[in-house]
Structures are given as structure tokens and as C-alpha cells.
């Protein structure tokens, strides 16, 4: 009974250690002064919004390029594209 309890406690301790390592991975790398933390968070959100805009712009460019390619192939070169 005591051996099983010690094994259980050891497993719980290793699970807690693993969880702490995983949480530390997503945490900040170094400690920052009081005012820098919120400014860094705001800057991160702004960069995320900017990168989202770049991704949406790239997707729109891809769709326009594919539409122009379709028009070029069908109207200029006379290639028909049929989906059965």
C-alpha cells in the first residue's frame, strides 16, 4: 500500500514538473520592467493585426490572379475548362 502511494506521489510530482515546464515555455523569457510589459503586449497585438492584414491581402491577390488567368486562358487563348 505504501509503495503504491509513493508511486502515485512520484507520478503526480513528475506531471506537475512537466506542466510547469510547458507553462514556462509559453511565458515571457525574461522579466521586464512594469511599464514595458503592457507596451509589449499592445505591440504584439498590433503586429498580429498587421500580419493578418498581409495574409488577407495575399489571399485577395491570389484570387484576382487566378481570375485573370482564367479569363486569359478562356477568352484570349480559347482554352475551355470543363468540370464534370
DSSP-based three-state secondary structure for 83: coil
What span, in angstroms and rounded, lies between the C-alpha atoms of 23 and 74? 55
77 vs 25, more confident? 77
Tell me what pLDDT residue 2 has.
86
Mind listing the pLDDT tens digit for each residue in 13-70?
A: 999 998 888 877 777 667 778 888 889 889 999 999 999 999 999 999 999 999 999 9
Task: Categorize the per-residue pLDDT at 82 as very low, low, confident or very high, splitting at 50, 70 and 90.
Answer: confident
- pTM exceeds 0.95: no
Q: Is 83 exposed, middle or buried (0-12, 13-18, 19+ CB in 10 A)?
A: exposed
Indicate if the pLDDT at residue 78 is higher than 80. yes
User: Residue written as cell 498590433?
Assistant: 46
Amino acid at each position: 500500500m505504501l509503495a503504491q502511494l509513493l508511486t502515485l506521489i512520484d507520478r503526480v510530482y513528475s506531471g506537475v514538473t512537466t506542466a510547469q515546464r510547458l507553462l514556462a515555455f509559453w511565458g515571457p523569457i525574461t522579466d521586464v520592467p512594469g511599464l514595458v510589459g503592457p507596451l509589449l503586449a499592445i505591440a504584439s497585438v498590433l503586429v498580429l493585426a498587421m500580419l493578418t492584414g498581409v495574409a488577407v491581402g495575399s489571399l485577395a491577390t491570389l484570387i484576382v490572379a487566378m481570375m485573370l488567368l482564367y479569363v486569359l486562358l478562356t477568352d484570349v487563348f480559347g482554352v475551355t475548362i470543363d468540370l464534370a
